[in-house]
Amino acid sequence: MSTSSSKSQRFGVQLALGVGALGVVFGDIGTSPLYAFRECLTTLPEIERSAGILGALSLVFWALTFEVSLKYLGFIMRADNRGEGGIFALFALSHTDKGPAAKTGHLFKLVILFGAALLYGDGVITPAISVLGAVEGLVTFDAGFARFVPLVACVVLAGLFWVQHKGTNTIGKMFGPVMVVWFATIGALGLWHLWQQPAVLQALNPVHGLRLLLNHPGHATALLGSVILVITGAEALYADMGHFGRTAITRAWYFGAFPGLVLCYFGQGAYALAHPADATNPFFALVPTGAPRLALIVLSTAAAIVASQALISGVFSLTRQAIQLGYFPRLQVQHTNPDQAGQIYLPMVNAALAITTIAIVLIFGSSERLATAYGVAVTGSMVVTTVAFIHVARTRWQWSLWKAAPLCAIFLMVDGAFFLANLHKFAEGGWLPLAIAAVVLAVMYTWNLGRGEIFQRVYGNHVTESELMSIARSKHVTRVSGAAVFMVGSPSGTPIALLHHVKSNRSLHQTVVLLSVMTDEVPSVPDADQLTLTPIGEGLWRAIGRYGYMQSPDAGALMERVRDRGVPINPASATYFFNREMIITGGNARMWEWQKSLYAFLSRNARPAKDYFQIPPSQIIEIGLPLQL
């Protein structure tokens, strides 16, 4: 292959990744112009128009520059876990080889889980406000559409959630091109108005923003609470890093999203300066009424759907990571594309998102009212990311205090200011994402705590491998033909199911495999490192399968590899033994009573382990195991 063709192929790959990043990574932040600058203007009723617009624009520009260009692209995205990003990647990076509790501590784990829970609040509100903001453009086309806006938004969202089970392989190919057209269009419209009112470029001077905050401290909180809307979705840059890579995301930002957003916001500012009495949403006012306005509404709706899809897929991915790491009950995970392991569908999560999102649209009714609920989850997750980054810099990278403190102090000061500025929204709707986060946090923390207690009761019997061999060779135990696989939660434990089986039946298969499926705190484990096989003796073997938190376990595939290693077992006819835990409250477990009841409820409704490990039901035997917490 010639050098020129090789370079051409590399360029094509980079271009495809950049276009894909525009569609997935920047969908949320890319649709913020639909409502963000309008909200900024509503906080400036008593401020001189020109000074208010220039000051608000200055804050918008420097918020984008600081949070995205400097903080995330410059620093946060350097903290990757084998190429993957996101809140759980930071959590894994903060651990040491001596175990999770070595340096992170109980409090830090709670902070990380709270940050992850806040992303669920973001995942619920983003589709609602994005679609509402786009559909509200119909009102600027014809005021008679006002009463139909919530209904149309609900129909769009219902259709979006309905198609999730079909996967995003087909529609996903359109995400990138749609967002390329979107950023090009809003950038061109902004440039057109900017050309007519170049005085708005004064807002590039940060003094205008600082002067506005200092001269009008009474409006500062409300203004910062609106400015934060322009950077909603910044977390997606980090969370989706594993799909596209830091380089592709950076290029997509600087050559697509950033110029398009800046030009659009400055164009809206230029229009507001030229038409001070116009109360129309400045975004839709960028085009004349009639067919051009209708075309922009259609494009806005398409962009809002892309942004919503990105958040929905993000919640699916986050939930699978939480399940794999033991912080969420097992749920059904369907792979919608055999060629892309990351394209998954979780029916229960999708249903919960659909019901909650549509309910939010009906309750709030407009993007203006919903904007009051937005921002708290975003700023809260940004603060958590900063705290986790500090922890990683100090513990993993061994940064000295003098090196870490100044940078992290600046990040915390800015993020903290935005977070505090959004607390005034609590009574007006800011409670919503916090309530969602509180529910998710309770589920994650309780499930993890309950699993720890169950683990001690099930695998704390301390039956050694030598004792297992004694049981296997006992003259009171009959060895029957065939193979049995006992699922073990610990790589060194002995399952109670095996002991109960021997006690009740006085028999044991000729070949017995103790199979443990473990999740390492890495995105993926290479195929060559996934299986560890150790002979115990007397026909007993211990197999340990390791997966990353971005992978789904497959016990059947593992057993085929065990057979290929020389173990006399036929995976298609082997019998798999599972514990079927029946949780009873009222015990002495170190949990609150409400946590015990919640864990019992979650355990009853969690997907059975036999389904989670992709084993045919005809090969499974479950042994009941009453456990009191």
* DSSP letter for each residue of 368-416: HHHTTTSSHHHHHHHHHHHHHHHHHHHHTS---HHHHHHHHHHHHHHHH
Q: What is the DSSP string of 229-296?
A: GGGTTHHHHHHTHHHH-HHHHHHHIIIIIHHHHHHHHHHHHHHHHH-TT--S-TTGGGS-TTHHHHHH
Domain boundary (425, 450, 475) is at 450
Write down the pLDDT at residue 54: 94
| Of the candidates 107, 111, 159, 150, the residue with the CA atom closest to the CA atom of residue 132 | 150
| Residue 65: other Cβ atoms inside 10 A | 15
Say how many domains are in the chain: 2
Last residue of a domain, one of 450, 483, 507: 450
Residues 82 and 211 in one domain: yes
Per-residue pLDDT, 338: 58
How far apart (Å, rounded) are the C-alpha atoms in residues 96 and 9? 40
**Whether the Cβ atoms of residue 174 and residue 337 lie closer than 8 Å to each other:** no
| CATH number, position 357 | 1.20.1740.10
Q: In this structure, are 155 and 225 located in the same domain?
A: yes
Give the pLDDT of residue 134.
93
- Answer yes or no: do 519 and 443 share one domain: no
User: How many CA atoms, within 13 angstroms, populate the side-chain half-sphere of residue 1?
Assistant: 8
Cβ–Cβ under 8 Å, residues 367 and 133: yes
Could you tell me if 408 and 476 lie in one domain? Answer: no
Any domain includes 398:
yes
- Whether residue 455 is contained in a domain is answered as no
**66: its two tokens:** 């600081």
Report the C-alpha gap between 362 and 318 in whole angstroms: 27
Judge whether 457 lies within some domain.
no
Q: Which residue has the tokens 């997935």?
A: 24
Q: Which residues of 87-115 are buried (b: 16+ CB within 10 A; e: fewer)?
A: bbbbbbbbbeeeeeeeebeeebbebbbbb
Does 564 fall in a domain? yes
Whether residue 73 is found in the same domain as residue 129: yes
Query: Alpha-carbon distance 539 to 558, whole Å?
Result: 18
Cα–Cα distance for residue pair 95/102, rounded to 1 Å = 7
pTM: 0.86
**Segments of the chain with pLDDT less than 50:** 1, 96-103
Look at residues 25, 435, 440, 409 and name the one whose alpha carbon lies nearest to residue 235: 25
- In this structure, are 409 and 539 located in the same domain? no
Residues 55 and 18 in one domain: yes
Residues 418 and 315 in one domain: yes
Tell me which residue has tokens 């000295």: 400
Q: Which domain holds residue 580?
A: 462-628
**Interacting residues of 99 by C-beta distance below 8 A, sequence separation 6+:** none
CB 512 within 8 A of CB 568: no
Q: Give the pair of three-digit tokens for residue 104.
A: 């992170």
Please tell me what DSSP assigns to residue 585. Answer: -
174 and 231 inside one domain: yes
Determine the 3-state secondary structure of 621 from DSSP: strand
In this structure, is residue 456 part of a structural domain? no
What residues form DSSP beta bridges with 623? 579
Flag whether 321 is in a domain: yes
| Residue 369 and residue 488 in one domain | no
Question: What is the number of residues in the chain?
Answer: 629
279 and 341 inside one domain: yes
Same domain, 116 and 215: yes
**Pairing of β 540-547 and β 531-537:** antiparallel
Tell me which of 400, 423, 450 is where a domain ends. 450
